[in-house]
Copies of this chain bind each other. A is one copy, B any other.
Amino acid sequence: MARASSVKDVAARAHVSLGTVSNVLNRPERVSPATRAKVEQAMRDLGFVRNESARQLRAGRSRTLAYVLLDARNPFFTDVAQGAELAAESAGLSLFLCHSGNRPSREADYLAHLVEQRVQGILVTPVDPHAAVLDDVRRNGTPLVIVDRTREDAEFCSVAVDDVLGGRLAVEHLVEAGHTRVAFIGGPETIGQVRDRLAGARQAWAAAGLPDDQLTVIATDALTVAEGRSAGERVMGIGSSRRPTAAFCVNDLLALGLLQQLSTAGLSVPRDLAIVGYDDIEYAAAAAVPLTSVRQPRQELGRRAAELVLDEAEDPDHQHQQVVFTPELVARRSTLG
């Protein structure tokens, strides 16, 4: 493969100066049609491709955004990514996705690489929103927005969804349906979302005047289908006089596992146990018994995050904002007889 051709080669071939080639690329209206045609022909002949590194070096900034996400296999994040992509596209930028897989070291590697690349901005759902790596990015001047997590200090823009409200909506829905013994399934509590949704659940429970000890917390080690199955076994192990009649799962994967475990055991949803999930992933509606779930405006989350990061990149007196979206309950058969 011959060395890729440069503007200089194009200029030589078109018998013009290299400044003119650059003008064809960047300000075509300034170039006479005849010259432009000549240059464009030369580009085609040589298969010229702009060298983005050089362009970036000169311009000082790139034409990309990046989203560093926790888990590409979780539909929640890919939906957020899609929203971000739409916003990026309309700003004429490309969006690269980076998968940290929940590993802080990988996250740090990606962030460092992105900063070195001088991307226009970074969206990140961090493993730990307080990790110092985020501050390092800030110090290097790359705009960064935290997605689906929050930090108390106002050092960064962030977009998140009100998880306390989400928890409240879920439990209010169950209370309205007449349930008086409910299980909260989720964990570990180190995850902010788990804490917040539980807090919301408790608020709703208390507001309904129901006794504390009738809201049972079933702790899980992760938010996965397998953990949902195991939680299902534990629920079924509870003596029937004290067994909850409904469960609120902190995400849909848990809920799907729970549902599977129950139907394996021959129990019926919602008759024997009503279920509310969280996230409203595509597979929630596609489950054997379509799941009631708390929906978050995922695309919107991504779109807004991208807008904020662009604002931070372009507006010299940008103010950091903490955007909080409102979740919404989608009722389906898993709670409606």
Contacts and interface: CB of A to CB of B under 8 A. Distances in A.
Contact of A82 (B1, B82, B99, B290): B99
A133 to B, nearest CB: 13
A50 interface: yes
A85 B99 CA distance: 9
Interface residues on A, range: 35 or more
A129 interface: no
A256 B115 CA distance: 42
A63 to B, nearest CB: 8
A229 B101 CA distance: 33
Interface in A93-109: 94-99, 101, 106, 109
Contact of A141 (B4, B79, B263, B286): B4
A47 interface: yes
A257 interface: yes
A72 B118 CA distance: 25
Contacts of A207: none
Contacts of A89: 106
A325 interface: no
A289 interface: yes
Interface stretch (A54-62, A162-170, A214-222): A54-62
A116 B287 contact: no
A4 B116 contact: no
A98 B290 CA distance: 31
Q: Residue among A47, A66, A73 with the most chain B CB within 10 A?
A: A73
A290 B51 contact: no
Interface in A257-302: 257, 259-260, 263, 282-283, 285-290
Contacts of A99: 78, 81-82, 85, 95, 97
A307 B282 CA distance: 33
Given A72-B72, A78-B73, A96-B98, A290 B53 contact: no
B287 A288 contact: yes
Contact of A50 (B52, B116, B260, B285): B116
A17 interface: no
A304 to B, nearest CB: 19
A7 to B, nearest CB: 13
A331 to B, nearest CB: 16
Nearest to A63: B113
A57 B49 contact: no
A113 B56 CA distance: 12
A72 B53 contact: no
B282 A260 contact: no
Interface in A24-70: 47, 49-57, 62-64, 66
20 contacts: A47-B139, A47-B140, A49-B115, A49-B140, A50-B116, A52-B117, A53-B57, A55-B116, A72-B82, A81-B99, A82-B99, A94-B98, A94-B110, A97-B99, A225-B283, A256-B283, A260-B286, A260-B288, A288-B288, A288-B289
Interface of A: 1-2, 4, 47, 49-57, 62-64, 66, 72-73, 75, 78-79, 81-82, 85, 89, 94-99, 101, 106, 109-110, 113, 115-118, 139-141, 225, 253, 256-257, 259-260, 263, 282-283, 285-290
